[in-house]
Chain A
Amino acid sequence: MNEPDVDILLVEDSVDDAELALHALRKEKLANSIFIARDGEEALDFVFCRGTFPGRSFDHPPKLVLLDLKLPKIDGMQVLKAIKSDPRTRTIPVVILTSSREERDLVSGYDLGVNSFIQKPVDFDQFRATVKSVGLYWMVTNQPPVRADVKPNLDEEAPTDEVLLTK
């Protein structure tokens, strides 16, 4: 049995930020299930169905990746690069959601094919509004490509123990 579909992969090392983001997303009823990866390595394992996620399939990618830049182990830019340079994953929308507004990050983010680049506002109301509009756009408004070309390469039904946050 495959793992249930995940709507949003939230890559965020800060527990506080993660909880606030979850709160905002839940309140707007935008995602059925959200998985939180706490570092770059975990995020890549999740997306590429490996490591502790052998049960996942490329057939069921997350509908949206919300990516922080400053991450332990593998930083956000490298995660972005890995996702956008692999034909199996590059159609997954990735939105950088970060504290910094560094010009160089903006430039390299877009160079690597990020879909949106958003600075987290300090004010929580603004943050909530931002999360809402991003979620609405990528989960509801935007039309994702039909994934017919990607063949499932993993067929295992191993039980998984990752924390899956569902609504």
Chain B
Amino acid sequence: MIEHRLQRRVALGFAGAMLLTASLDFLSWRNKQAAANEADSMAQTYSVMTQLERTLGDVVDMETGARGFAATGQELFLDPLTSAQLSLGKDLNSLRQLTTRDPNQIIWLAPLTRDVNKAVSADQDIVAQRRQNTILPVSPAFQHGKQLVDTVRSEVRAEQAEQTRTLDQAARTKAIKGNRSNAVMLISTLVEMSLLVLAWIAVSRALLASTEAQIQIEGSNVRLEQRTRQLEAANKELEAFTYSVSHDLRAPLRHISGFSKLLVEDFGPSLEPEARRYLERITQGVSKMGVLVDELLGLAGIGRHILNVKFAPLNPLVDEVVAMLAPETEGRLVEWKIADLGTVPCDQALLRQVFQNLIANALKFTRSRATAVVEIGRVDDAGESTFFVRDNGVGFDTKYADKLFGVFQRLHRAEEFEGTGIGLATVRRIVQKHGGRTWADAKIGAGATFYFTVNLPVENDVQVNNGVVTGVHCE
């Protein structure tokens, strides 16, 4: 449960770190891309500015050439004019291409082109007028040419200023983007590191916890082993005790019994009748104690008995018990009501003992009834099989019901009903070994019902088919 939660937490930590790394890398890549684009457009702006400078230069060269030719009439001055005129076409063309994406292109490139063309034609006019010798040193054509050069210059300077602003902005943007990219990288690294540290902490905590749990488990295993050893030792001791009781207690009993019998046999005739009566009482006491010791040993033996569990049909078992108890019912009217008891996983020998004790009790406590009614049945409820033995005997006060199953507990005086007080304790011990419970219900003078459940795990998948007794209330 805890391990599961921890595993999920660690997995989430790692997944988060990976996701973050991926997204931050993507962001950083985008920023780099943007910076590269910005660098591209800056390079372009530089080209525009250079081209503008070249255009201005060409216009000035052209004007200077025209002026020189006009003053000297020498063709030599026409060379720079011609080459400037040629390059001006290229200049304007490349400016147009460089600024196709500039939204302000129309605003500045069109007037510049127009004014450059005007300057070209003005200079061509000067050259033409000089060839016809119609030009004067202070001709208005010179004035016009100069004016046009100034116009072009101012236009070029204005646009250069504009381009410089663009360049500044691009540089600023580029710087911002670069900084942002760096910041993103830094933050991403920090966050990743913290996530990894958190994941590491979680993992080491989990390891520590599981190690501690392991140590605890090992500790409790050691304790359990100690406890088991102690229990085994106690069991062995109990076994030895039982053995010694079995052997040592029975022997003197045998001797008392034997020698009192011999006394009666060998010297009976010479004994007073009172003495013979005492000897008889001794013999009775001894034989009673013999039964008691044997029953106690039987009870102690159940604890050490290894269950031989089988699916046993119970009716044959109960029939055997009834037949065995036949001497008890001699000369009595007994009405047997034995339901179909089905089968149940149990140790047959022990369960026979349970039925024997309960049925013997039922017969014992119905002795005063004209007709004894003994009912044996079964009720199945919630997977638990409850068996009961009911009689119409003298019953008992239910306030003593919890005492019933204890060792040596008797609810009747010995002269009313004989017994050792071990029978029901034996029943409870056997039923406990079968994973079940025992309880009883009764009313003084109106009979008693003894219940027990059998709850052994079913090892092979055999269906329990049983008859269900109706009309019986069970807890």
Q: Which residues of A contact B (CB under 8 A)?
A: 14, 16-17, 20, 23, 70, 98-103, 120-125, 127
Contact = CB atoms under 8 A, between A and B. Distances in A.
B290 A123 contact: yes
Nearest to B304: A103
A102 B250 contact: no
B251 A14 contact: yes
B247 A100 contact: yes
B246 interface: yes
B258 interface: yes
A23 B257 contact: no
B136 interface: no
Contacts of A70: 247
A14 B377 CA distance: 50
A121 B254 CA distance: 7
Interface in B208-238: none
A125 B261 contact: yes
B251 A99 contact: yes
Nearest to B293: A122
A16 B255 contact: yes
Interface string B275-318: 00000000000110110011001000100000000000000000
Contacts of A122: 250, 253-254, 257, 286-287, 289-290, 293-294
Interface residues of B, number: 23
Interface of B: 243, 246-248, 250-251, 253-255, 257-262, 286-287, 289-290, 293-294, 297, 301
B254 A17 contact: yes
A127 B258 CA distance: 9
B250 A123 contact: no
Given A23-B262, A99-B246, A102-B243, A123 B257 contact: yes
Nearest to B253: A122
B258 A16 contact: yes
A16 to B, nearest CB: 4
B422 to A, nearest CB: 16
B257 A100 contact: no
Contact of A100 (B243, B259, B287): B243
13 contacts: A16-B258, A16-B259, A17-B254, A17-B255, A20-B259, A23-B262, A99-B247, A101-B246, A101-B297, A121-B290, A124-B260, A124-B261, A124-B262
> What 8 pairs across the A-B complex have the smallest Cβ distances?
A122-B290, A124-B258, A20-B258, A16-B255, A124-B261, A99-B247, A124-B257, A99-B250
Contacts of A98: 247
A61 to B, nearest CB: 28
B303 to A, nearest CB: 13
Contacts of B290: 121-123
B268 to A, nearest CB: 14
A101 B298 CA distance: 10
B246 A100 contact: yes
A120 B253 CA distance: 11
B367 to A, nearest CB: 24
Nearest to B239: A102
A40 B366 CA distance: 52
Given A20-B259, A23-B262, A124 B247 contact: no
B290 to A, nearest CB: 3
Contacts of A101: 246, 297
A125 B262 CA distance: 10
A127 B248 CA distance: 17
Contacts of A125: 261
> For B258, B262, B290, which residue has the most chain A Cβ atoms within 10 angstroms?
B258
A96 B43 CA distance: 119
Given A17-B255, A20-B254, A123 B287 contact: yes
Contact of A120 (B250, B297, B301): B250
A101 B287 CA distance: 18
> For B260, B287, B289, which residue has the most chain A Cβ atoms within 10 angstroms?
B287
Contacts of A100: 243, 246-247
A21 B246 CA distance: 19
A102 B301 CA distance: 9
Given A122-B286, A123-B257, A123-B287, A17 B246 contact: no
